[in-house]
Amino acid sequence: MTDKIAITPATHTAPPAKFSHGVRKGNILQVAGQVGFRPASAGEEPVPAGPTLREQTLQTLANVRSVLEEGGATWEDVVMVRVYLTDPGSFEEFNRVYDEYFADLKGAPAARTTVYVGLPGDLLVEMDALAVLG
């Protein structure tokens, strides 16, 4: 029996419902949907890193990375990133920030699917990730 472990980075507030920011079971690590909230402490209301796509994208990527690292993984282990944007016109701007962020990636970049959906409040981007370890 392989243990299923909840991953809760110190930078993250408690999830707003009965889910985990990340889960690891065996060699599979799944990062839950992350948005551009700044690191926050318990009791604080989470606040986006800023109003722009660039600020929110960089913070979202940092939040995904916090979950990966807390679970013993890195971006090099990620096989899939799902990207949810609210504005179909933001694809090129998003890609510029994404490419800049991953400029130093050594191995194969993860696969990716990008779709345009609704998100709550002023959020412009959400991302989740699947990593295979070992």
| Residues within the interface to a second copy (CB under 8 A) | 1-2, 4-6, 15-28, 30-33, 76-77, 79-82, 84, 88, 91, 95, 98-99, 102-103, 105, 107-120, 126, 128, 130, 132, 134
Query: Residue 7 belongs to what H/E stretch?
Result: strand 4-7
Buried b (16+ CB within 10 A) or exposed e, 36-58: bbebeeeeeeeebbeeebbbbbb
Total count of residues recorded for the chain: 134
Q: Which of 27/44 has CB closer to a second copy?
A: 27
Quick one: CA dihedral 58, 61, 65, 67, positive or negative?
positive
Q: Minimum distance from CB of 44 to a second copy (Å)?
A: 18
Q: Minimum distance from CB of 96 to a second copy (Å)?
A: 8
Q: Minimum distance from CB of 30 to a second copy (Å)?
A: 4
Q: Which of 28/62 has CB closer to a second copy?
A: 28
Tokens standing for residue 30: 């799944």
